[in-house]
Structure 1
């Protein structure tokens, strides 16, 4: 069951990778169309405003169609075969479901307790999806319906029909079954979802009363679930669905950017719901403190070698928001350090919340600058300056605490390994070999050695026990997620680090190889070897 949950968590993250660019476009579009910042140049009706408004509205594509995007993207990671066809089936099936719901509510809305004549949005519980007026089921509804369609696809796509019915085979047969399955599913949604919406609204009220403590608990759990690959399931309902605000924090905050930019009130007063998008702070301020502690406690003869590793992975955490490369360097070597890291992340999030700084702070510095600092700096620079001070204080705290614990308990963090246990992860030569397309000894043959992604894929496959040991594979933003038949055939963490990855997280038969932002390309080569 855990393997399936992890695989689902990785699959649902596929469309999230589009959000960083969309957020940058919205941030700049909002900035350049805000009259309070650019004056008459940005007034509606000017050529400047018109051009930037076109770009801004295009940037809204991803966030305005989130349910549809999640429904279509889920098969990429979960369909066992013919993923592209399954995406088409999911699109048609999801739209069919919405038409069923819309028609049922328009005819029998009173029976279901839904005022279908109400305007969409607000407290009506209604939304427009692909120009269909329907129940606002958000990301959860889209994932549920898409999951049903994927199950139908996996079971019935290759069913052999009599030759005279051959025209109805494959995707057509899947859609036929989906069509009739969606009728009771739509009825159940109309019957049950209005009550779920009541529960969501009650939860929104509860979360709003938890204040700073609630932010700390959320920040701790978000970090703590990373080793299990379940953090996506933790934050997604907050960020992209209706858990704390209608439409999700990303959409609500981006929509309100012009009003926030024009106001001098506290960010916390203007957008209290945005307190939970707070994971950026531990990436920007925590990871440098950890890296400094590793460097300060490393053996003198290993410091130069270690520095070449720490600089890129620390910059990746700060600017891109990808922390697995640095966190997985000590997660398995010294688990207590990771727990301390989670606690410090929670305390930092609480401290920044107390100074009133909220917003979309979930990615790296590039993303959060476009959605926060650039459009909002003019009227909110004081809060950002206070946040910088608090963050730097916590960087020092991270450094002092980690350094003390590493020395006190002699944790074998990077640069402190025993000479007899030279961890290949620290071998610059081998790392370069993997990057430059040189196969390690024993790597899979018939691989294009000029392609570094193919070389890494071959090495990963070999360390996972070979093609015969692979059940299925998917990926999230940084990890190759693989289920294997026999976990005893999988190599150890240092072996994976020796080929240029950041290690492996094992959970039974579920394996997560930490590769980084190039994981989609590695996965393509990996699947080609199966």
Structure 2
């Protein structure tokens, strides 16, 4: 597959986790809005708010699963491997580089790794005494091991990447917002005909910037 086809597939893969957001946003908007929630029993408002937050708090995991599904023709084993790999990566990062937050980028990376390993090993044949772990069952195992390696690499390279994202956020929000928004809009509109705008949008929607809870 050429680079353009791969990028299109990536764009379609990102659509699946994005499709989860409207329902979560509605739940969070109703349950977390004091003006609306006052018409509901407290327990109902709290349940709706937490249900919406549950989706937004795990967007990285959803991106890992969505990307893996998109590159493996919606195979459930690949999704399981991506989820396992992402959780493993996060735990290992917590040990080797405490405080490192890769966000949705980490999810996308782990989804790509899981998909690649699935496509390579889902038909693997092991010796008879290990036959139970052959085929698709081997994929989650090798993905969890690969996640440890990915975590080690990210522990080294993510600090400058994260600093770059933070610096770009600062520039876009406070120094040259007009230029930043203009560049974003031109590129986003240019990519729409090719179906690649979801790749461009993902870091802006889920990574760039920061917030403080009230």
What TM-score comes out, normalization by structure 1 length?
A: 0.38
Shifted more, 143-152 versus 96-105: the winner is 96-105
- 1:44-193 aligned within 5 A: 48-80=41-73, 83-105=75-97, 116=98, 126=99, 135-193=100-158
Q: Distance in 1 between matches of 2:115 and 2:46?
A: 38
Q: Distance in 2 between matches of 1:175 and 1:53?
A: 35
Shift of 1:174: 1.7
2:166 paired with 1:201: yes
Judging changes above 3 Å, is the alpha-carbon distance between structure 1 residues 12 and 100 closer, same or farther for their aligned structure 2 residues?
A: same
Shift of 1:239: 0.8
Q: Distance in 2 between matches of 1:22 and 1:51?
A: 15
Structure number with higher relative contact order (C-alpha < 8 Å, ≥ 6 residues apart) = 2
Q: Deviations over 1:334-374 (max 9, x none)?
A: xxxxxxxxxxxxxxxxxxxxxxxxxxxxxxxxxxxxxxxxx
Judging changes above 3 Å, is the alpha-carbon distance between structure 1 residues 177 and 47 closer, same or farther for their aligned structure 2 residues?
A: closer
8 Å CA contact 2:125–2:134 kept in 1: the answer is yes
Q: Distance in 2 between matches of 1:60 and 1:98?
A: 19
Match of 1:228 among 190, 194, 205: 194
> Aligned residue for 2:22?
20
SS of match in other structure, 1:14: helix
Higher share of residues assigned strand: 1
Q: Distance in 2 between matches of 1:88 and 1:18?
A: 18
Q: Deviations over 1:434-473 (max 9, x none)?
A: xxxxxxxxxxxxxxxxxxxxxxxxxxxxxxxxxxxxxxxx
Q: Deviations over 1:485-525 (max 9, x none)?
A: xxxxxxxxxxxxxxxxxxxxxxxxxxxxxxxxxxxxxxxxx
8 Å CA contact 1:89–1:171 kept in 2: the answer is no
> Aligned residue for 1:216?
182
Q: Deviations over 1:223-266 (max 9, x none)?
A: 221111111011111112x22x13xxxxx5xx86xx6xxxxxxx
Which ranges in structure 2 are unaligned for 5 or more consecutive residues? Answer: none
Q: Distance in 2 between matches of 1:179 and 1:219?
A: 38
- Aligned CA RMSD, in angstroms, stands at 2.2
8 Å CA contact 1:222–1:231 kept in 2: the answer is yes
Q: Distance in 1 between matches of 2:181 and 2:157?
A: 30
Q: Distance in 2 between matches of 1:219 and 1:92?
A: 36
> Aligned residue for 1:4?
6
Aligned residues: 211
Higher share of residues assigned helix: 2
Which ranges in structure 1 are unaligned for 5 or more consecutive residues? Answer: 106-115, 117-125, 127-134, 247-251, 260-530
8 Å CA contact 2:123–2:136 kept in 1: the answer is no
Q: Distance in 1 between matches of 2:183 and 2:160?
A: 27
8 Å CA contact 1:11–1:74 kept in 2: the answer is yes
Judging changes above 3 Å, is the alpha-carbon distance between structure 1 residues 96 and 213 closer, same or farther for their aligned structure 2 residues?
A: closer
Q: Distance in 1 between matches of 2:51 and 2:148?
A: 34
Shift of 1:47: 7.0
SS of match in other structure, 1:12: helix
Judging changes above 3 Å, is the alpha-carbon distance between structure 1 residues 168 and 98 closer, same or farther for their aligned structure 2 residues?
A: same
Shift of 1:95: 1.4
Shifted more, 226-235 versus 69-78: the winner is 69-78
Judging changes above 3 Å, is the alpha-carbon distance between structure 1 residues 213 and 198 closer, same or farther for their aligned structure 2 residues?
A: closer
Shift of 1:171: 3.2
Shift of 1:103: 2.2
